[in-house]
Structure 1
Amino acid sequence: MNKLAIDHEYVSRRIIEFMRREVRNSGFEKVILGLSGGIDSSLVAFLAKEAFGKKNVHGVIMPYRTSSPKSEEDALKVAEAAKISWEKVEITNMVDSYFSFFPDASPLRKGNRMARERMCILYDLSARDRSLVMGTGNKTEMYLGYSTQYGDAACALLPIADLYKTQVWSLSEYLGVPKEVIEKKPSADLWEGQTDEGELGFSYHDADDILFELIDRKKDRNEVITLGFKSEVVDSILEKIKNSEFKRRMPKIAYIHDKAK
C-alpha cells in the first residue's frame, strides 16, 4: 500500500469543515485566492467552492510579462470549471517600476518581489470585497522552504498545508480539477522553462517519501538512507528543512516584562 495514500472523501470533508469554521469564526463569508494555473491554487479553489459556494469564492490571475501564456489559460480553465468569479491584474508595471532602481537584481529577488506584489494585491482586493485570503502552500513546499516569506506564504488560512504534493495531485483528481493542470510539471513560472523539480534537484515523489519518513515517522538521516534513498538527496532535503525554519515561525518577540510572556 502507498504510504502516502489518503481517504479522499474524509480528507476533503475535513478541509472543507476547517475552511467553513475558520472563515466564519473570523466574521467572513467570502474568500479570495490567487489563481496561478498550478495544481495547488486549483485544488484550493475547488475546495473553497465546496465550502462556500461558487458565489463566495473569487480568483485573481496575476501574470508578469515573462509568465507563460499557458499558466493564464490553465487558471481560466480552473475558474470556469469551478464556476467561480475571477479577474486579471497584470503585475508587470508594478514590478518593473521597482526594479528600474535595481537593474542588476538577481532572479531570486525578482521572484520574491513578484510573490509579494501578488499578495499585496490579494489583500487589497480582500478589503474591497470583505473576504479572507486563502493560502495555497502544501506541506512539501513549506518544509523545503519553497515559498516566499510574506509572499505566497502570507495568508489567513492554509487549507492544504498538511498535504504532501503527491497527495495534492491525488485529491485534485478526486475533486475534478482539470486534467491538464494535474499532469503538467509544477512551476513557479518565474522564467521560461523553469520547473520546481529542476530547481530543487529532485522529484516531488522522492521529496514526499523522504519527508514522510523524516517528519511523520520521525526517522533520522541514517534510518532514511537505509530505506534506499540517495544520501545526497536526503542531505539536501535536511539542509532545506533547516535553512527554511525561519519561514515557518511567527516573528520572535523580545519580551521585556515577564507577565507579557
Structure 2
Amino acid sequence: MNPEAVVNYLVEWLRSEVAAAGKNGVVLGVSGGVDSAVAALIAKRAFPGQTQALLLPCESNLTDLWHGQLLAEQNDIPYQIVDLDNPYLLLVAQFEAYLKTDRDSGQLLKANIKPRLRMLTLYYLAQARNYLVVGTSNKSEISVGYSTKYGDSAVDLQILGDLLKKDVFALASYLQVPDVIINKPPSGGLWVGQTDEGEMGVTYKQLDAYLSTGEGDEAVIAKIEAMMKANRHKQHLPRVAVLPDDLKLD
C-alpha cells in the first residue's frame, strides 16, 4: 500500500462526499486511539477550517483524553471536550429504575450506552453546523460487526471503512501520529481494562490475515466466522417486511 496515495485519495473522496451532500464540513469523535487519530488528520487535510473534533469522555480513562488532546493540539485541529459522565450515570439509574433491569445484568448492557451518547452529541453539533459525521471504524471491525449498533457505527461517512487495521497503522506512521497513541493496545474505552482484542478473542493480526487470505488457525477462523454470523444484522439497514401483492390494499 502507498500511504501517501491512499491519504490523498481519501482527502479528495471526503471533499466530494461533503460537497455532494451540500454540507459545510465534518465533525468526528476523537477517542485518543489510532483510528480516530488517522481519521482526524485526513479530515483536517480535507477541510482545514471546517473540521471539528469532539472529545467525549464518559467514565473514561483519562489517558485516552490526554492522547486525544495531544493529537488535536499538535495538529491544530479545533476540539471541544464534552463530559458525558453525568448524562450516562443518569440514564443508567433511570433505566434500572423504570425498565427494571438488573444492576448485574451485564457490563456490556450499560457500556453500550456510552457510544450511543457520543453519537447523539456528534449529531447535535453536526446539525447545528450543517456538517457530516465522520466515522472511525476500520474494515476489520466492520467485517465482524465489532461496534455498537446506532453508536459508533451510526455515522455519515466511514472514511476508514476499506482499510484493515494494519493499513490504519501504516497510515498512522505516515501521518506521524504520536507513538504513544500508535503503540497502546486498541480499546473502545467501554470499561477499565477493556481492549478490542481481549473482547473479540482474536488479535487484529489474526483477523486481518483471515480477511486478506481466508486462512488462519481453525479455532481463530471459527471465532471470526461466529462473530460475522452473530453480527450480520449490523451490516444492513433495518429489514422491511415486504407484503406480497395479494395482501396490499388497492
Normalised TM-score (structure 2): 0.91
Letter in 1 for 2:82: V
**Cα shift readout 1:86-121 (whole Å, capped 9, x = no counterpart):** 111111111111111313342111121111010001
Q: Distance in 1 between matches of 2:220 and 2:190?
A: 24
Quote the residue 1:74 is aligned against: 67
Quote the residue 2:46 is aligned against: 51
Q: 1:251 aligns with which of 210, 230, 238?
A: 238
Q: Does 1:63 align with 2:57?
A: yes
Q: Distance in 2 between matches of 1:17 and 1:144?
A: 28
Q: Distance in 2 between matches of 1:164 and 1:111?
A: 25
Secondary structure at 2:157 match in 1:
coil
Quote the residue 1:123 is aligned against: 123
- 8 Å CA contact 1:81, 1:178 repeated in 2: no
Q: Distance in 2 between matches of 1:203 and 1:257?
A: 45
Letter in 2 for 1:178: P
Quote the residue 1:31 is aligned against: 26
Quote the residue 1:172 is aligned against: 172
Secondary structure at 1:191 match in 2:
coil
Q: Distance in 2 between matches of 1:156 and 1:200?
A: 25
Q: Distance in 2 between matches of 1:90 and 1:257?
A: 49
Q: Distance in 2 between matches of 1:68 and 1:127?
A: 28
- 8 Å CA contact 1:116, 1:151 repeated in 2: yes
Q: Tell me by how many angstroms 1:29 deviates.
A: 2.2
Normalised TM-score (structure 1): 0.88
Gaps of 5+ in 2: 97-102, 246-250
Q: Tell me by how many angstroms 1:257 deviates.
A: 7.6
- 8 Å CA contact 2:111, 2:191 repeated in 1: no
Give 1:87-98 correspondences, 5 Å limit.
87-98=80-91
Q: What's the Cα RMSD here?
A: 1.3
Letter in 1 for 2:50: N
Q: Distance in 2 between matches of 1:145 and 1:111?
A: 16
Q: Distance in 1 between matches of 2:105 and 2:79?
A: 32
Q: Distance in 2 between matches of 1:205 and 1:15?
A: 24
Quote the residue 1:186 is aligned against: 186
Gaps of 5+ in 1: 1-5, 215-223
Q: Distance in 1 between matches of 2:172 and 2:160?
A: 11
- 8 Å CA contact 2:112, 2:190 repeated in 1: no
**Cα shift readout 1:39-73 (whole Å, capped 9, x = no counterpart):** 111100000011111x21111111122x1110000
Q: Does 1:196 align with 2:191?
A: no
Q: Does 1:9 align with 2:4?
A: yes
Of all paired residues, the percent bearing the same amino acid is 36
**Count of aligned positions:** 238
Secondary structure at 1:251 match in 2:
coil
Q: Tell me by how many angstroms 1:144 deviates.
A: 1.7
Quote the residue 2:163 is aligned against: 163
Q: Tell me by how many angstroms 1:242 deviates.
A: 1.4
Q: Distance in 1 between matches of 2:239 and 2:105?
A: 29
Quote the residue 2:114 is aligned against: 114
- 8 Å CA contact 1:37, 1:72 repeated in 2: yes
Q: Tell me by how many angstroms 1:206 deviates.
A: 1.2
- 8 Å CA contact 1:99, 1:105 repeated in 2: no
Q: Distance in 1 between matches of 2:163 and 2:230?
A: 21
Quote the residue 2:211 is aligned against: 211
